């Protein structure tokens, strides 16, 4: 029944490693997003995809690479992890591109880089 799911929920890893976070939505939405929430709770968009096409790419380091194999999935791969990457990463989806509709968020992935 989960609308937007993310795995893993927690991720602890060392600097320099490469890791991936997976996101899936079963709502039939066209658009998916990745957000980063820092330690001060500030939530900022990173990427959006519409029907597997990259639409929004904020000023995110090249070490972050989203991949959307189909419109129900949006994965986030992070290379050469740094301490500053520690945050909660949220996946979200909405029924159409543009933000005139509410976005449904996943439960978040808490990434800790040591």
Partner 1 sequence: AQKITQTQPGMFVQEKEAVTLDCTYDTSDQSYGLFWYKQPSSGEMIFLIYQGSYDEQNATEGRYSLNFQKARKSANLVISASQLGDSAMYFCAMSSLTMNRDDKIIFGKGTRLHILP
53 C-beta neighbours (distance < 10 Å), count: 12
Contact residue for partner 1 among 40, 62, 69, 70 (CB under 8 A): 40
- Using CB under 8 A as the binding rule, whether residue 93 contacts partner 1 is answered as no
- Tell me whether residue 79 or residue 88 sits nearer to partner 1 (CB atom): 88
Contact residue for partner 1 among 20, 79, 98, 114 (CB under 8 A): 98
Question: How far from 66 is each of 41, 49, 57, 114, CA to CA, in Å?
Answer: 22, 9, 10, 23
Q: What is the dihedral of CA 94, 19, 57, 101, to 10 degrees?
A: 10
- Chain residues that interact with partner 1, rule: CB under 8 A: 31, 40-45, 48, 50, 55-56, 88, 90, 92, 97-100, 102-105, 107-108, 110
């Amino acid at each position: 029944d989960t609308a937007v799911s993310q795995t893993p929920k927690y991720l602890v890893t060392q600097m320099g490693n490469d890791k991936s976070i997976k996101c899936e939505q079963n709502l039939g939405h066209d658009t998916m997003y990745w957000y980063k929430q820092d330690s001060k709770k500030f939530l900022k968009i990173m990427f959006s995809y519409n029907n597997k096409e990259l639409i929004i790419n904020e000023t995110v380091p090249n070490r972050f690479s989203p991949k959307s194999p189909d419109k129900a999935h949006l994965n986030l791969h992070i290379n050469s992890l740094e301490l500053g990457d520690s945050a909660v990463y949220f996946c979200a989806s909405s029924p159409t591109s543009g933000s005139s509709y509410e976005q449904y968020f996943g439960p978040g992935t808490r990434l800790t880089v040591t």
